[in-house]
Amino acid sequence: MINEKQKHSDLLVPSTTGPSHWGEQYNTCTGKHQSPININSLDVKKVNLPPLVFQGFDVAPRETNLTNNGHTVVVTMESEVTPTVSGGPLSGVYEYSQLHFHWGDNDTFGSEDMIDNHRFPMELHIVFYKQDYKNARTALNYPDGLTVLAFFYEIAPEDNPMYQEFIELLGNVTGSHLSARFDAPPSLKDLIAEDLLHYYTYDGSLTTPPCSEVVTWIDFKEPILLSHAQVQAFRALENEEGHPLTHNFRPVQPLGDRVVLYNTDEIIKQVDLDEEHPPEQPEGVDTNKIDTPKSDEAISSPKDPNSRKHPRNTASSPFTSQWTVLGASLVFTWIVFCCSDRYC
């Protein structure tokens, strides 16, 4: 009988064939909203989403196990307080299922999502399922079933002390399907970045079969720092065939018609052309001004009813008045000329 822990640990187990063949076995792997993607930071839509709410992230679990499943390293935990996440782009509360990693065989690539065509050496995925759907397996049947908090890693000159026991345990799970238990289980907060405000988010899929398009991706901008030696410890693991496990990420997929949002603490304002009194802009905020008047003649007094009109509909240019006077003079001259020749 498969227990709940096993269900969670095999949620993201890829097919025995490579990514290019997944579509032959799973139609969902050829969908239009697949993951991972390349995020172009110049094309994202900046937004001010509600704050993400993290519950239980700072609570150390009662028991935490690390397993090499032949495809990645999976961390499952048993805790009196199950971590949850809500808010931001999410509707409802999502409960922790498991976390795992993706990496390459050197420091130049390994992450699944890319930022501005840049791959990071490693990426962490923390998988949550919507509480309404009871478990991660059932959640696969709903378009909002899962959310994945994704964190990128960068190489630092020094070891990250928060990962010390984690890296040591990797030496105990070199072979496929081996597990080890933490002596001092880390909380989720110990393993992730500090900046949880700035992130990209988009609708996507699992990055392994069945590639179900049920995932709200939340990719945090600030990377986690590990030393080269710490990342190298992941590359010492073996897959199910006993070969080095060094290339367990899926190639990027087309973005298609999706829009990637970027959550920021910048003030995002929408300009309303019919607004009677545009809001004052705080110092330091760069806004797009539409048809800003270039002279005092085009600026109306706040008490002037014309101030409600768009600048392009307000007072005439001085050049307009000059052409009006000139036109009137020509008409007068033509009348005098006509009458003098008795054409009137």
pLDDT tens readout for residues 224-271: 999 999 999 999 999 999 999 999 999 999 999 999 999 999 887 654
Q: Which pLDDT does position 270 carry in this prediction?
A: 55
Q: Does some domain include residue 34?
A: no
Q: Which pLDDT does position 269 carry in this prediction?
A: 66
- Residue of higher predicted confidence among 11 and 118: 118
Q: Over 50: is that where the pLDDT of 323 sits?
A: no
For range 49-72, the mean pLDDT: 96
Q: Does some domain include residue 275?
A: no
Task: Say how many domains are in the chain.
Answer: 1
Q: Does some domain include residue 247?
A: yes
Q: Which pLDDT does position 327 carry in this prediction?
A: 42
Q: What is the 3-state secondary structure of the chain?
A: CCCHHHHHHCCCCCCCCCHHHHHHHCHHHHCCCCCCCEECCCCCEEECCCCEEEECCCCCCCEEEEEECCCCEEEEEECCCCCEEEECCCCCCEEEEEEEEEECCCCCCCCCCEECCECCCEEEEEEEEEHHHCCHHHHCCCCCCEEEEEEEEEEECCCCHHHHHHHHHHCCCCCCCEEEECCCCCCHHHHCCCCCCCEEEEEECCCCCCCCCCEEEEEECCCEEEEHHHHHHHHCCECCCCCECCCCCCCCCCCCCCCCEEECCCCCCCCCCCCCCCCCCCCCCCCCCCCCCCCHHHCCCCCCHHHHCCHHHCCCCHHHHHHHHHHHHHHHHHHHHHHHCCCC
pLDDT band at 311 (very low <50, low <70, confident <90, very high): very low
pTM over 0.85? The answer is no
Q: Does some domain include residue 77?
A: yes
Q: Does some domain include residue 31?
A: no
Residues serving a catalytic function are: 71
Q: Over 80: is that where the pLDDT of 104 sits?
A: yes
For range 305-332, the mean pLDDT: 37
Q: Does some domain include residue 328?
A: no
Q: Does some domain include residue 21?
A: no
Q: Which pLDDT does position 12 carry in this prediction?
A: 52
Q: Does some domain include residue 56?
A: yes
Q: What is the CATH number of the domain that holds 80?
A: 3.10.200.10
- Residue of higher predicted confidence among 268 and 129: 129
Q: Over 70: is that where the pLDDT of 302 sits?
A: no
Q: Which pLDDT does position 16 carry in this prediction?
A: 52
Domain of 105 in residue numbering reads as 39-263
pLDDT band at 336 (very low <50, low <70, confident <90, very high): very low
Q: Over 50: is that where the pLDDT of 286 sits?
A: no
pLDDT tens readout for residues 7-33: 444 455 554 567 888 988 899 999 999
